[in-house]
């Protein structure tokens, strides 16, 4: 049985919803909701990610098949396997995403999803070009090794990505309470894209927000804290290639300049780590900001 | 013997979806330009500039000047550091002014360049005093014992 990639079928829906959101922003006089060069970079990253994904698909598939060969069970294509696979794949996504924010090698691949100062449906399409090099596939191997069909895993991963499209919007405030409790929503994911200190490294969820609640990385969107989107050090460029590769270039520069015993740390430590303390990690920013808050009365 | 699963995703007629997506992308970029999502925005006010500069490490703002049209700002801190709050698309970014920055003044305007970013601030009467503040941030005077 061959795999099914749902992504191409979702593209017309993506385009239609972006069009609707642009008209909404225009009607509501939200002049900063979209910016033509930002939109061009976001959509360009989306197009490029389709090509990059196609190039890496063969190798990713082969690795999943290898892992599947070691499986103790053959789960096969039973109907219940689809639901279980989707949920476990979402758990795998949570950890992949969490590592993508906490290990600089993986952050270099993920940063382009966060480098826009806008938060709209086009932001959702800022997908990576270098996910394979960042080793994202590693997090899916346990599913194949557990006996899930590799093609089923990839289909579930595609469906997960499609789910995450609609949550990249400011047009929706909050969903009903029970929905917000279980599912990832625009409100939860706005927090993830914020660069406010209290929101850094929070809400890694793909489809189910429950993983963040379980593993202690959940933060609710606070009415009193207006969100600013983007990176702690904003990229400040609308160059597509810079958006795709700037952190890889920065890693290469740091590794070249660092003393020998620190070189590897610039690959695996968290973004913002430096051997001489000249930069700030998200933990340092959180601590600094907590310290500067006025004492509560 | 276990059947080796095939992983070939069924292509939706090869490159056609990519071509279609490319056309759709161009159409959306054109639409966003047509709807007026471009051009310079103004800062919402001093608070936005102060908040952006205040995010820089250890930066405690204590003075500020807005460009006449609110299109950029300079923020000073208690240690004599200066942050340039510059437009970037519809939003703004804060960058600390350091040795790599370049500064020019003509009448009431300061032109400040940091890397590829160049901003002209119309400051009127305040241009001269901010010029000296920015100059000191670019080349701090040696303070020996
Ligand atoms: Zn992320
Ligand atoms: Zn996102």
Q: What are A107-161's pLDDT values in tens digits?
A: 999 999 999 999 999 999 999 999 999 999 999 999 999 999 999 999 999 999 9
**Which segments in chain B show pLDDT lower than 70?**
1-14, 141-145
Residues B53 and B93 in one domain: yes
Residues B24 and B56 in one domain: no
Which residues in A lie closer than 8 A to residue B32 (C-beta atoms)? 22, 34-36, 39
Q: What are A231-254's pLDDT values in tens digits?
A: 999 999 999 999 999 999 999 999
Distance B80 CA to ligand 1 centre (A): 35
Q: What are B41-73's pLDDT values in tens digits?
A: 899 999 999 999 998 998 999 999 999 999 999
Instruction: Please give the pLDDT value at position A292.
Output: 53
Query: With the CA atoms of A163, A89, A1 and A68 taken in that order, what torsion angle do they form, in degrees rounded to the nearest 10?
Result: 160
A3: pLDDT strictly greater than 80:
no
Looking at the complex, report in whole angstroms how far the Cα of residue B145 sits from the nearest Cα belonging to chain A.
25
Residues B54 and B15 in one domain: no
Residue B74 lies in a domain: yes
Residue B93 lies in a domain: yes
Looking at the complex, report in whole angstroms how far the Cα of residue A72 sits from the nearest Cα belonging to chain B.
11
Looking at the complex, report in whole angstroms how far the Cα of residue A256 sits from the nearest Cα belonging to chain B.
21
Instruction: Please give the pLDDT value at position B38.
Output: 82
Instruction: Please give the pLDDT value at position B107.
Output: 86
Distance A295 CA to ligand 1 centre (A): 31
Residue B145 lies in a domain: no
User: What is the mean pLDDT of the segment spanning A35-63?
Assistant: 95
User: What is the mean pLDDT of the segment spanning A194-210?
Assistant: 97
Chain-wide mean pLDDT for chain A?
94
Residue B129 lies in a domain: yes
Residues B92 and B109 in one domain: yes
Instruction: Please give the pLDDT value at position B9.
Output: 47
Residue B31 lies in a domain: yes
Greater confidence (A1 vs A183) lies with A183
- DSSP letter assigned to residue B79: T
Residue of A267, A4, A235, A217 lying closest to A114 (CA atoms):
A235
Residue B143 lies in a domain: no
Residues B51 and B34 in one domain: no
Instruction: Please give the pLDDT value at position B13.
Output: 55
**In sequence order, what are the residues at sequence separation of 6 or more whose Cβ sits closer than 8 angstroms to the Cβ of residue B77?**
B53, B59, B60, B61, B62, B83
Residues B30 and B53 in one domain: no
Residues B107 and B55 in one domain: yes
Residues B34 and B63 in one domain: no
Residues B85 and B124 in one domain: yes
- Tokens 């598939």 appear where? A61
Q: Does A150 contact B7 at a Cβ distance shorter than 8 Å?
A: yes
Which residues in A lie closer than 8 A to residue B37 (C-beta atoms)? 22, 25-26, 31, 33-36, 39
Selected residue of B90, B93, B112, B115 to mutate for chain A interface (largest A Cβ count, 10 A): B90
**In sequence order, what are the residues at sequence separation of 6 or more whose Cβ sits closer than 8 angstroms to the Cβ of residue B128?**
B105
Residue B55 lies in a domain: yes
Residues B70 and B117 in one domain: yes
DSSP chain A: ------HHHHHHHHHHHHHHHHHHHHHTT-TTS--HHHHHHHHHHHHHHHHHHHHHHHHHHHHHHHHHHT-S---TT-HHHHHHHHHHHHHHHHHHHHHHHHSHHHHHHHGGGT--S--STTGGG---S-TTTTTGGGGGHHHHHTT--HHHHHHHHHHHHHHTTTTS-SS-----HHHHHHB--HHHHHHHHB-SGGGTT----SSBTHHHHHHT---PPPTTS---BS-SS------HHHHHHHHHHHHHHHHHHS-GGGTTHHHHSPTT--TTS-S--HHHHHHHHHHHSPPP-
Query: Residue B16 belongs to what domain range?
Result: 10-39
ipTM of predicted assembly, 2 dp: 0.90
Distance A126 CA to ligand 2 centre (A): 8
Residues B85 and B22 in one domain: no
Instruction: Please give the pLDDT value at position A8.
Output: 86
B35 CB within 8 Å of a chain A CB: yes
The structure's pTM equals 0.92
Residues B65 and B100 in one domain: yes
Q: Does A2 contact B32 at a Cβ distance shorter than 8 Å?
A: no
Residue B67 lies in a domain: yes
Total domains, chain B: 2
Which residues in B lie closer than 8 A to residue A195 (C-beta atoms)? 55
């Amino acid at each position: 049985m061959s795999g099914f990639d749902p992504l191409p079928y979702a593209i017309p829906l993506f385009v239609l919803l972006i069009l609707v959101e642009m008209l909404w922003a225009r009607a509501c006089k939200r002049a900063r909701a979209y910016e033509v060069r930002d939109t061009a970079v976001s959509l360009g990253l989306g197009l490029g990610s389709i090509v990059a994904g196609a190039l890496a698909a063969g190798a990713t598939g082969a690795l999943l098949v290898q892992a599947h060969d070691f499986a103790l069970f053959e789960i096969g294509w039973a109907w219940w396997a689809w639901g279980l696979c989707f949920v476990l794949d979402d758990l795998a996504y949570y950890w992949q995403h969490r590592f993508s924010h906490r290990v600089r090698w993986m952050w270099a691949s993920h940063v382009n999803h966060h480098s826009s100062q806008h938060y709209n449906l086009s932001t959702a399409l800022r997908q990576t070009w270098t996910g394979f090099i960042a080793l994202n596939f590693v997090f899916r191997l346990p599913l194949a090794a557990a006996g899930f069909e590799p093609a089923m895993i990839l289909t579930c991963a595609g469906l997960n990505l499609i789910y995450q499209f609609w949550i990249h919007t400011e047009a929706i405030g909050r969903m009903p309470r029970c929905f917000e409790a279980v599912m990832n929503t625009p409100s939860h994911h706005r927090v993830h894209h914020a660069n406010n200190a209290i929101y850094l490294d929070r809400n890694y969820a793909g489809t189910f927000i429950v993983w963040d609640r379980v593993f202690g990385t959940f933060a609710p969107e606070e009415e009193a804290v207006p969100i600013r989107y983007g990176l702690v050090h904003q990229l400040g460029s609308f160059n597509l290639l810079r958006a795709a590769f700037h952190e890889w270039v920065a890693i290469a520069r740091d590794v070249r300049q660092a003393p020998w015993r620190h070189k590897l740390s610039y690959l695996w430590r968290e973004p913002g780590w430096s051997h001489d303390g000249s930069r700030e990690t998200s933990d340092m920013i959180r601590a600094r900001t907590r310290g500067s808050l006025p004492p509560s009365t | 013997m276990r059947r080796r699963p095939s992983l070939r995703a069924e292509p939706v007629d090869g490159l056609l979806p990519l071509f279609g997506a490319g056309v759709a992308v161009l159409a959306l970029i054109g639409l966003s330009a047509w709807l007026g999502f471009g051009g310079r925005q103004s800062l919402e006010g001093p608070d936005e500039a102060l908040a952006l500069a205040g995010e820089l490490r250890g930066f405690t703002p204590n003075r500020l000047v807005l460009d006449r049209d609110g299109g950029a700002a300079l923020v000073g801190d208690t240690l004599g550091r200066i942050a340039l709050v510059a437009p970037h698309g519809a939003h703004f970014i804060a960058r600390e002014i350091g040795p790599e920055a370049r500064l020019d003044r003509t009448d009431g305007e300061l032109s400040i360049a940091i890397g590829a970013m160049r901003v002209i601030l119309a400051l009127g009467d305040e241009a001269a005093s901010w010029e000296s503040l920015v100059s000191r941030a670019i080349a701090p005077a040696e303070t020996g014992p």
